[in-house]
C-alpha cells in the first residue's frame, strides 16, 4: 500500500512524518522529542535559542550541533548565560562547533537576561509561554502552515519585552517542538503518543 506524501517509513517500516526521511538524525528526534509537551524552563529557553539559530539554516544543521551548543552555552542555564561578557562572545565566535553568527550569539545572552526578568515577573518561562497555546480546534491540517495567530502574538509580546530573534515562524516551530501544537500528521506513529502526553500534561500557571 502506497503511503500519502505526508508520510514515510523508516527501518522498522512504521509510518512517520515525511520530514523524517530527510536526515538520519531525524527519526529519533521525531519519535522521542518533537511535539511532546515541555514545562522545564531551561529546555524551553534552549529551544527558543536554537530555533533562533536555525533562522536561514536547516534544522539538521542545528540538531547535529546541539551538543556543541549545549557545551558552549552551559546547557542553556540562562542564569549563567546572562553573565556572559564581550570576551565570552569573542570566544564563541571562534567556536567551530556552533553557528558563529554574532547577532544570534548576542541574542542568546540578551534573551537570557530577559528570561530572568520573565521569571521574576511571571513566575516561570513555562507559565508565560503556555499562555499562548493554540486551540487545537482552530488549527489547520498538520504541517500546512508556518505560523499561527498565537505565535504572532507571542512574537510581538516577546519583542516588547526585549527578546531578539523571536519572529512568528521561529516561535511556531518552537510551539511545534515543545508540544504546544501537535503537528504530527495523521497516520504518523507518534501523533497519538503526543496527543496522549498532551492530554495528561498539567499546564503551568
Which of these is catalytic: 59, 130, 132, 163? 59
Start-to-end CA distance of the chain, whole Å, equals: 46
> How far apart are the C-alpha atoms of 98 and 168, rounded to whole Å?
23
Query: 15 by DSSP, 3-state: which?
Result: strand
Q: What is the distance between the alpha carbons of residues 205 and 52, in angstroms, rounded to a whole number? A: 26
Backbone angles phi, psi at 75, to 5 degrees: 60, 25
Task: Name the strand (E) or helix (H) holding 173.
Answer: helix 168-177
Total count of residues recorded for the chain: 205
| Residue 138 DSSP one-character state | G
Closest CA to 35 of 136, 155, 165: 136
Nine cell digits for residue 29: 528526534
The active-site residue, picked from 19, 25, 29, 33, is: 29
Q: Does the annotation mark 59 as catalytic?
A: yes
β-partners of residue 48 are none
Q: Quick count: other Cβ atoms within 10 Å of Cβ 75?
A: 13
Residue 163 falls in the annotated catalytic set: no
Q: Which of the following is catalytic: 19, 28, 33, 51?
A: 51
51 is catalytic: yes
Catalytic residue set: 29, 51, 59
Amino acid at each position: 500500500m502506497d503511503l500519502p506524501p505526508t508520510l514515510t517509513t523508516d527501518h522498522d517500516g512504521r509510518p512517520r512524518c515525511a520530514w523524517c526521511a530527510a536526515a538520519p538524525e531525524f527519526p529519533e528526534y521525531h519519535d522521542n522529542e518533537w511535539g511532546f509537551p515541555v514545562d522545564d524552563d531551561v529546555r524551553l529557553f534552549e529551544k527558543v535559542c536554537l530555533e533562533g539559530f536555525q533562522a536561514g539554516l536547516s534544522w539538521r544543521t542545528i540538531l547535529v550541533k546541539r551538543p556543541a551548543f549545549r557545551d558552549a552555552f552551559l546547557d542553556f542555564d540562562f542564569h549563567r548565560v546572562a553573565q556572559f561578557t564581550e570576551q565570552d562572545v569573542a570566544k564563541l565566535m571562534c567556536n567551530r562547533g556552533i553557528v558563529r553568527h554574532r547577532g544570534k550569539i548576542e541574542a542568546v545572552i540578551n534573551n537570557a537576561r530577559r528570561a530572568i526578568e520573565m521569571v521574576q515577573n511571571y513566575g516561570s518561562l513555562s507559565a508565560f509561554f503556555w499562555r499562548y497555546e493554540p486551540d487545537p480546534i482552530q488549527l489547520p491540517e498538520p504541517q500546512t502552515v508556518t505560523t499561527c495567530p498565537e505565535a504572532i502574538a507571542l512574537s510581538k509580546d516577546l519583542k516588547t519585552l526585549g527578546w531578539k530573534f523571536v519572529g512568528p515562524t521561529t516561535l511556531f516551530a518552537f510551539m511545534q517542538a515543545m508540544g504546544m501544537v501537535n503537528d504530527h500528521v495523521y497516520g504518523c506513529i507518534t501523533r497519538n503518543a503526543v496527543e496522549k502526553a498532551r492530554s495528561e500534561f498539567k499546564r503551568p500557571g
